Each structure stands twice: as C-alpha cells, then as structure tokens.
Structure 1
Amino acid sequence: MPGPKNVLVDIWLLSCVSTALVAEELAEHPLSVDEFALYGLISDLGPVTATQLSQWTGTSATTLSAMLRRCQARGELARTPNAADRRSVFVELTDQGRAVYRAALPALARALERLQRDEPPAEEARYVLQQVDGAVRDALGLPARPYRVEAPGFAADDAETPLTPAQAAEVRAFAAWIRHRDATGG
C-alpha cells in the first residue's frame, strides 16, 4: 500500500466519507447533505446574505445561487431585501424550511452517534480541523468561519489570555501523560 498522501487529499477523503455518512442517515428526508448543512447555518446564523454563505462555505456564487433557487422553489427559503445594501438580499428559512430542517435533525444525531469513538476525543479533533480550516481560508482569502470551537479542555473564560495552539497541544500532552501515569499506577 502506498504511503500517505497530503493534507488536502486527507481533507477530501474526510469530506467524501462524512458526506456519505450523513447522506445515509438523511435518505428518508427531502434535503441533500449540502442543503441540510446550509439550512443549519441559516437556522443558527440567519438571516444571512448569499455572499456570506458563499464565503463561509467556499461555494461558488453560481452553485450556491442554484441551490438557493431550488430550496426557494420548494417554499423552504425566503429572500428579503437588505436595507443596508440594496444589491443584496437576506436569505432565511420559512416556517416550512424550519420544519423540514427540524425533521431531519435526528438523522444528524444518528450519524454523530455512529461516529463517536474515544480516540481522538471529538473536541480535540474539531479544534484541529478548525486550525486546518483557518489555513485553507487564509490560502483562499476567505473570511473566518462563522463560529469557533474553543481549545480542548478550556472554556473561553478559563484564562484572561487564551492559549496558543502550541500551548494547548502541550497541555493536552501533559494531560495524556497524567492519564497514563494514573492508569499504570506510576
């Protein structure tokens, strides 16, 4: 078997298999995986502009526009004028869109249950993925993601000065050593 590829191939593979996992659970629902994720962003952060959605997801404006049109045609999304910028509109879920999204949420819960493992802990993996996400966004010139995952084991109010990623890694390594020490009676 050949050796490992590169981080971008790793990300692509992860994207493919995670999409397949969620799609398997969403099979009985009318939303595609992309629509479900988009509805989640709109539900949590909306109303939002199509430009914001395009920047957050890295999806081209034409691809996103086609997706939004399909969802609007089904009566699940509404567009309202943006008073601050007449060239843009806000996108938000309709009552029907919220109902469709809520009905699909148990599918995501099932996918997450199937994913749960002890190694690596989910919060550590999410934090590392967030760091990679930031690097990719920097390379593309995209703004930061619309939400942040706190460094593992630390809440935002744990310290006045947040730990750097290197410091957080050092703390995780020390915590792993303590767990090992205590498990072996050393």
Structure 2
Amino acid sequence: MIRYKEPVSGLIQCALGEFPSLSVKVMLVAGMADQEGAWGQTWWPDASGELHPDWEAGIDALIQIDGGAPYYAIPDILAHELAHAVAGPDGGHGDVFADAYLRIHKAFCRAAGQEPTPEQLAELHELIDCARTGRPFGTEPASDLVGELNTAIDFAINHPDGDAGGIAFLRQWTFGDQEAISAIENRGVRNA
C-alpha cells in the first residue's frame, strides 16, 4: 500500500480557507518558462474584455503553471499565483499580494500541524522582495534590508516614545505581517 498526501490540493484548500470567494482555474501548460520566462502566470480578461482561450464561465482568474517546473517548487509557484488572483489584475506585487501570499503559506504550515518558523517567514519576505524588485532569489538585495531593519529596530527601541519614522519603516518592511510585527514588539519595539 502507498499513501501519499500530495501538497497541491492541500495548498488549494488552505487558500480557499483564507479566501473563500476565490474562484480560479489552475492548469499545467508546456513551455511557458521558455516562452515567457516565468514558471507561472495569472490571467484576467484584458481591457477590451477579451478572454484567454482557456477561460471558463464563473472564474475570476486563470492560473497557468509550467508543467516543467521542479515538482518541489509547484506549491510555492501556485501560492504566488493564487496571491495574484486575490490581489487582482492591478495588484502586482503590492501589499494585497504580499498579505495573501503570507496568509496562504501560513495556513499551509498550520494545516501540516506546524507554525511557520522565523526562517520560513524571512524566506517568504525575501521571495516577496524578489518579486517586487526582480532580483533572483538567494542573491543580495540592492540595499541591506536586514541591516536597515536592525537599525530601525535599535533606533525604535532606544526611543521609548516610539519613533514614527522607525515604526513606519518596520510596518513597511514587514508588509503589515502581524506575526513579524509581534516578533519585533517582543524585541522591545512598541506600536509596530
């Protein structure tokens, strides 16, 4: 007997748990990475109302994932594209996208009986930054975000009146992620 709990269905259930009104079609396609330079894409009707040929009535977005993507990467690619579906056609990699991406991943961890670790959260924040800036994952950011964050935390800690600039930076850096804000507050910063 073989029992296998594949991750993609679980991730979809987690996304629906977080965003019950989400209505998308997900399909695997061939050659997208070679043609478009991406492992995944999310489609909406264009400005003229024209629909993608694979569009179906009742969906809000069409998600395509390259079937040649590494199997281990497909859950994250899908989470990324589902976050785009939540953010909408004009959402890009903005705050709504970031919030949805983090919520889907956190729900996925919790479905497996685990809380996301600080390392996992840091990696997710790096992935969001990579999506926003276009830099490859695992390369150094143009600015030292970790250094800037530590400087802002230290600055805010040393000013008990709650430096508005430091707090505003911390909120922006964490994309409003309440768990990250709580971790910052536990380090001594109030009102993050």
* TM-score, reference length from structure 2: 0.26
Q: Considering fraction of residues, name the structure with more helix.
A: 1
Which one scores higher on RCO, CA 8 angstroms, separation ≥ 6? 1
Bigger-Rg structure (1/2): 1
